[in-house]
Structure 1
Amino acid sequence: MSLTSAHTWDAVVVPESTAEVVELSQGGGFRLLVDAGATGGALGANRLTLAPGADGARPHHHALSSELFYVLAGTMEFLLGERIVTAGRGSLIVVPPATVHAFGAAPGSTAEALVVMAPGVERFEYFRRLGRIAQGQDSFDGLLPEQDRFDVHFADDTAWLRARAR
C-alpha cells in the first residue's frame, strides 16, 4: 500500500466535551470517543474509568480485532490467556485477536485507560448496553446473541474470578 493511497474517511477530532459518557456502577464509565463508522472501519476508541477494584470486562476474545490499552492513571489487572498481569500508569498492553482476556482496576486502585480496537467494529451500542446492565436496566444474557455483531465472544471466567477474589 502506498502512503499516498486514498482513504475513505476524514480526520476525526472529538473534543472531550462532545464525547458521549456511559456510566458504569460505582462511579466508573466509558467516554465514547470514536466508532468504526467514523474511521472507515480502521479503529474504534474509548476512554474507560474504573472505580477502585472494579471489573472492566469479564473474559472474552475478539475474532477480528486487536485491542490496545494505555493505562492513563491508576493500576489495572489483566487476564491475558493464562497469565494475570498488573499494569500501572504509562503501561501499554496489546491483545491480539483470539486471545482470551479480561481486565479491571487493581484491588484498592482506581484505573483509567485509553482503549483502541483495530480494525474497528461498530461497538458504541455494546457500551451503551453495558451501561444499562450496570444500572440494572438490562440483563447480561441479552448480550449473548450479539457476540458476533460486537466481536465480543465470552469465555469461561473461572481463572479470572479466582484471581479477582484474592
Structure 2
Amino acid sequence: MSYPEDLAYPEPRYHGDRGEVNAVFRPAGAPPDLTSPGGFTRYLATGQSTGGEFGLYDVQLGPRSPGARTHFHKAMAESFYVLSGALELYDGDRWVTGGAGDFLYVPVGGLHAFRNATDEPVRMLMLFTPGAPREEYFERVAEMARRGGEELKQFRIRHDSYFVEDFEE
C-alpha cells in the first residue's frame, strides 16, 4: 500500500518542546455519576474536561428503557459503540439492532434514535464531537420529560437536541 508524501494533519495546538504531564485517569471501579432504574451513566470525559474536543460517556440502559426518540443535533456529531446487550439504533432510515462491538456514527444534522427493547440491560459508549455540556441534559431530562410541553421543548433546544415530535404540526 502506498501512502501520500504530504499528510494532512490538523495544525498543531500544542507549541511546547517537551510535552506536559496532563493526562487524566478514571479507574473502571469509579462509581457512576448518574443512576437510573436499571441503568447508569459515567462521565468518562466531559466537554469541559477535554477543552471542548469531545465528550465520552459510558451508559447502561435498563431493560425496556425507551432511550431517546428521533432527533438531531445542529452543533455536534454523536456516535454509539455497543459494549454489551442489544441496542436498537435508528439511523434516520431504519432501525437496526446493534450488539457488542457494533458502532453507529451520526454526523451533525443526522436523524437518529436509540432504545433498549430487551429484558436485559444494554451498555454503550456515547461520543459527542465537539464536546458540549451534556451533563445537565442527562441529569434533568427525566424531570423535564415529566413537565412536558413547551418547557421540555426549550430544554431540548438549549441542549442542541431537536426532537422531530417537537416540530410536528
Per the shorter chain, which TM-score range?
0.7 to 0.9
CA RMSD of aligned residues (A): 2.5
Query: What are the within-5 Å matches in structure 2 for residues 78-93 of structure 1?
Result: 78-93=89-104
- Correspondent of 2:23 among 7, 11, 18: 11
Aligned-pair CA distance for 1:146: 2.6
Determine the C-alpha separation between the residues in 1 that align with 2:142 and 2:45.
17
2:79 to 40, 51, 68: 68
Unaligned runs of 5+ in 2: 1-9, 16-21
Please give the secondary structure, in 2, of the residue aligned with 1:39. coil
Give distance in 2, aligned partners of 1:61 and 1:67: 9
Q: Which moved more, 1:46-55 or 1:143-152?
A: 143-152
Q: Tell me the alpha carbon deviations over residues 34-85 of structure 1, each in whole angstroms, 9 at most, x when there is no partner.
A: 2211111111111111122222112111111111111000001011112111
CA distance in 1, matches of 2:120, 2:105: 21
Matches within 5 A, 1:140-159: 140-141=148-149, 142-156=151-165
SS in 1 for 2:165: coil
Aligned to 1:21: 33
One-letter amino acid of the structure 2 residue matched with residue 53 of structure 1: R
Determine which structure has the larger strand proportion and give its number. 1
**How high is the TM-score relative to the length of structure 1?**
0.78
d(CA) in 2 for partners of 1:45, 1:52 = 22
- How many pairs align? 151
Structure 1 position 132, deviation (Å): 4.0
Q: Aligned residue for 2:41?
A: 30
Structure with greater helix share of residues: 1
Larger Rg belongs to: 2
Question: Partner residue of 2:129?
Answer: 118
Gaps of 5+ in 1: 158-166
Match of 1:139 among 123, 147, 163: 147
Q: What is the CA–CA distance in structure 1 between the aligned matches of 2:147 and 2:46, rounded to whole Å?
A: 23
Aligned to 2:60: 49
**Contact 2:144–2:152 (Cα < 8 Å) also in 1:** no
CA drift of 1:18 comes to 4.3
**SS of residue paired to 2:33:** strand
